[in-house]
Structure 1
Amino acid sequence: MSKILSYKSNLIVLYEDNHIIIVNKRVGDIVQGDKTGDKPLSDVVKAYIKNKYNKPGNVYLGTVHRLDRPTSGLVIFAKTSKVLPRLNKLFVSKDISKTYWAIVKNEPQKTEGTLVNWLKKNPKNNKSYAHNKEITDSKKAILHYKTIKKLDNYFLLEINLETGRHHQIRCQLSSIGCPIKGDLKYGFDRSNKDAGIHLHAREIKFVHPVSNKHIHVIAPLPKDPIWEAC
């Protein structure tokens, strides 16, 4: 389990050095600003850096990737302009290993497997649809899953992504009859009280693009009875 380096307001810092900061996003936080006008996690991280290091003026922070607002877990930010394109390159070349945990309603037919679909996003309802063959404007999506625990009423899956598509995990799991707990948009029958879903960016591994140090961070699970049963 990763040691929590800092826990202030809605910011949980799991790893930090001169170039990178990795935080554990809570359900409901947005990574970057959007039309809601809600304060994004990126602004919270900037304020943390400014306060911690007494930085004058504006603080640089580069967003490397995003997590959907209803999800929780690891988010990497770049603290320097030098490291941002290098981190972006790691994501493009798939040299960053990302593991997610999801709590789903139904048990998959196979204990573990690989899902290959072509996803097409509908911007009007901000939803992706899974197809078994390529269609116009679709993108190939690949993920690997395995069932790691049976809970009282649900199943805990571990997921590793080969691609990073819009709502990929949510959409592909729904396509095999395993909607994520709380995910009304993708077929679960009721919402969670916090409006989140039980999808958590659990673990990340990569070689630091500046120091060449092997980075391995695990995000603690949210505090709720279902996750605590895991």
Structure 2
Amino acid sequence: MDDKELRTFSVSESLKDQRLDQALVKAGIVSSRSQGQKWIQQDLVTVNGYKEKASYKLQDGDKIEVFVPAKIDIELVPYDFPLEIIFEDDDVIVVNKPAGLVVHPAAGHASDTLVNALLAHQIKLSKGSEEFRPGLVHRIDKGTSGLLVLAKNEAAHNHLAKQFLKKTIHRRYWALCFSGPKKDQGTIEGFIKRDPANRKRFVHSDKPDDGKRAVTHFKVVKRESLFSLLELTLETGRTHQIRVHLSHIHCPIVGDDLYNGTKIARSLKNQTLKKLILEMERFSLHAKELGFIHPKTGDRLFFETPIPIDLHSLFQLSGFSDVL
């Protein structure tokens, strides 16, 4: 995994029957059980190549792998970047994030992020629950465009976080994918975990104890010979969820190199379309709709954005110009 150090140790007699989080402390990997639990929750710890709960009792000979996050020296500084602000008041701000912009600072992106851009616009955000992630109650990937809501104070942050927890936030995406699902609408359900063979990726599993539950509802907007345009609604919000689910049903998102969305493009006969997809610096996933209850007024707010201009050529060449 990028920017992470791999630490490995085997369970000896002294660690046998210990909880996994306790063993991480005793092995000197983390300073506290809470830190160990956080890393386990973030899929940074595996036992014999599999994810286990913090309460897992270690057995003699178990092999523990820990991907230790790199320590990064980050100072939140303003980033001069134009933003499309859809809505703003004293409590929340809704932005239309362009593809290519990382949401919050991390290793490799210390200052060129959405959070830094909001600071440049002199927008005050809530402290948030994690360092360097002020205002954030949800995220979308760097290669995804679309709507994102951020909290401007702690009361708003807590209120929005509870809405996400209760699954009352409305989030709808559009994705242009290769092929298409067999049914015109349906649900993809299962469990998502990190791919042991490639820590940048996540994979689908049908085993309840093998990842985090993930549910995506889909509806086909339009089909063409090689592509389908899907409308996707999230019931859960796991990392890479839509990308993993569509790859799992053999309908990878066009341009998504991590989940086979460019591999298929190499066999296209249309050279113009093939070149366009292979040179894309994003994938064709857009967070099109967002709805939530305003933390202070109680009003139900709804926002919608069109397909961004940087996807227009792809939509036109693949037969979807009528939806732009």
What TM-score results when the alignment is normalised by the length of structure 2?
0.62
The RMSD of aligned alpha carbons is 1.9
Gaps of 5+ in 1: 1-7, 51-58
Q: Is the 8 A contact 2:155 2:295 kept in 1?
A: no
Task: State the 1:45 CA deviation.
Answer: 1.4
Residue in 2 that maps onto 1:213: 299
Q: Aligned to 2:290, which of 200, 204, 210? A: 204
- Structure with bigger helix share is 2
| CA 97–179 in structure 1, closer or farther in 2 if over 3 Å, else same | same
1:17 aligns with 2:89: yes
- Does 2:297 correspond to 1:225? no
| Map of 2:29 onto structure 1 | none
Displacement after TM superposition at 1:133 (Å): 2.7
Is the contact made by 1:143 and 1:160 (CA closer than 8 Å) also made in structure 2? yes
Moved over 3 A (4+): none
SS in 2 for 1:101: strand
The whole-number CA distance in structure 1 between the counterparts of 2:227 and 2:285 is 13
Distance (Å, rounded) in 2 between the aligned partners of 1:197 and 1:211: 36
Moved more, 127-136 or 154-163: 127-136
Residue 121 of structure 2 aligns to a residue in which SS? helix
Match of 2:168 in 1: 95
> What is the aligned partner in structure 2 of residue 125 from structure 1?
199
Instruction: Choose between structure 1 and 2: higher strand proportion.
Output: 1
Q: 1:161 & 1:42 partners in 2: Cα distance?
A: 24
Which of 124-133 and 97-106 deviates more? 124-133
3-state DSSP of counterpart to 1:126: strand
Contact persistence 1:98–1:160 (CA under 8 A): yes
Match of 1:54 in 2: none
Alignment partners' CA distance in 2, 1:64 and 1:177: 30
Equivalent position of 2:125 in the other structure: 60
Contact 1:114 1:142 in 2 (8 A): yes
* Contact in 2 for aligned 1:118/1:130 (Cα 8 Å): yes
Partners of 1:176 and 1:225 in 2: how far apart? 26
Q: Does 1:26 find its partner at 2:112?
A: no
Structure 2 CA distance for aligned equivalents of residues 29 and 175 of structure 1:
26
State the match for 1:55 in structure 2.
none
AA aligned to 1:199 is L
CA spacing shift, 1:131–1:21, aligned 2, 3 Å: same
Deviation at 1:152? Answer: 6.4
SS in 1 for 2:199: coil
The amino acid across from 1:41 in the alignment is L
Structure 2 runs not aligned, ≥5 long: 1-79, 127-134, 266-276
CA shift for structure 1 position 46: 2.1
Q: Distance in 1 between matches of 2:149 and 2:294?
A: 12
Q: Report % sequence identity.
A: 34
In the alignment of these two chains, the number of paired residues is 214
| Other structure's SS at 1:49 match | coil
Cα deviation, residue 89, structure 1: 0.7
